Structure 1
């Protein structure tokens, strides 16, 4: 989602610092705008206005820099939350753990079963698990796309009670029919599950608690989309990244061990 960004006077001071340095003056980028006299502030505004007329990319570069700093801080804060709750991220009594359950390379994926990007990476994750024998991939389901996501998420967790989490997950996330309880029942029957028991388990406290805990973990890192991958406590990668990008992040994680 695109956002409009309007620079504050302090931000314009950052731009002015660069402009003034070209003019032979020196104004620190961090200078407090309140320390300037009214005449100095007027001069700064005039310099900024003239500079932007001459080269509008100055403001674009400054805004891009501020956005990069904000993104870096968001990542830093999120990783601090992961470190503070490290054991909770790796635990998964209800969600599925793929790969080596005792692997030292632990990656957590937050996904929504209705998310088309989450569906897109399913096959890549299987390939990643097959090629990385020390990978412990914890898949945490978070229904962020509304009631239909909640319905599917409950069904997938309930399938885990019949030891069919992965099989049912793949079947349900590959199914293109409109979401409904009847659809869930049909998919369950198709793969040989007890559909009546699954429907019952969907309403169990265990399933509700699992979803609640996953959502709270997602909130702790300010998750703003799915899929999102947490590589240990080193890196958070949002979006449907490619298999090569996943391998690159995993290689970086391996080097840190």
Structure 2
């Protein structure tokens, strides 16, 4: 719809007034001029509130661009720790052309819902490498379950993917006891688990993951790293597929 001459005139007046304000020191305006200028801007914005939506959209776009630049830099500076840590297990295709890294907590409800997203990806896309990165942040029980999981990974790395599915997909809170029971169902005895757990009393791998998450700006679970981007939250299967497709097409999650 073409703009009316009154709207164009008003917009031009606002632009001129804004320009004058930029190049003229505030001290050069007397109190009456300041009041008139303020009243004029206020009246225009009240009459055209849709402008605030444009301003908000522009602000959000700028903030998102800044976030992406920051996370892209953090991902680039931590590639080995993110994608190739010896403390993580990768499932799916070990030579897949795209790697998805998930930070998870065994007591995270959103992670449990996102488990089906992982399964869907691995079932339908045979060229995905999926890295599981334990990030126990939901209390002592999560840390205890993660210690058992870490020991299981060292004792039976080939069964870790199934153990992960069993523990994350179980009902109720994950604890040391429930994690041990899950491990026993895959043939790993409790004494062996406890012996392995005793070898890593300082939780070095978990501390390294905490630091990595801080560097990436991740504060919750699930969180993902795909290509050049760190992503917070359970974004859903469609968004995951879109970002994976973009990485294949242009090397970045947003083409």
TM, length-normalised to structure 1: 0.79
Aligned to 2:219: 224
**Residue 13 (structure 2) pairs with residue 23 (structure 1):** yes
Structure 1 residues 43 and 158, CA, compared in 2 at 3 Å: closer, same or farther?
farther
- Superposed CA offset, 1:124-153 (max 9, x none): 212212332332221211112222222222
Cα offset, 1:107, TM superposition? 2.2
1:198 to 193, 197, 201: 193
How far apart are 1:171 and its partner, in Å? 1.6
Alpha-carbon distance in 1 for matches of 2:76, 2:54: 33
| Matched residue, 1:114 | 107
In 1, the alpha carbon distance for the partners of 2:80 and 2:121 equals: 23
How far apart, in 2, do the equivalents of 1:137 and 1:34 lie?
Answer: 58
Pairwise CA RMSD: 2.9
Structure 2: distance between partners of 1:144 and 1:35: 52
8 Å Cα contact 1:177-1:183 kept in structure 2: no
SS in 2 for 1:154: helix
Give the aligned partner of residue 14 of structure 1.
Answer: none
Q: From the superposition, tell whether residues 121 and 179 of structure 1 become closer, same or farther in structure 2 (CA, over 3 Å).
A: closer
Q: CA deviation at 1:193?
A: 1.7
Question: Residue deviations 1:93-128, cap 9 Å, x none?
Answer: 121101222223122222222111111121221221
**Residues 115, 169 of structure 2: 8 Å contact kept:** no
Write the mapping of 1:80-119 to structure 2, written as runs, cut at 5 A: 80-119=73-112
Q: CA deviation at 1:71?
A: 2.4
Number of aligned residues: 238
Larger radius of gyration: 2
- Report SS of the residue matched to 2:164: helix
- Unmatched runs of 5 consecutive residues or more in structure 2: 1-7
Q: Give yes or no for contact 1:21–1:27 (8 Å, CA) kept in 2.
A: no
> Which position in structure 2 is the counterpart of 1:154?
147
* Runs of at least 5 residues in structure 1 that lack an aligned partner in the other structure: 1-17
Correspondence for 1:255 among 239, 249, 253: 249
Using the TM superposition, give the Cα deviation of residue 222 of structure 1 relative to its aligned residue in structure 2, in angstroms.
0.6
Measure, in 2, the Cα distance between the counterparts of 1:206 and 1:91.
23
Residue in structure 2 matched with residue 54 of structure 1 by the alignment: 47
Residue of structure 2 aligned with 1:132, choices 125, 128, 136: 125
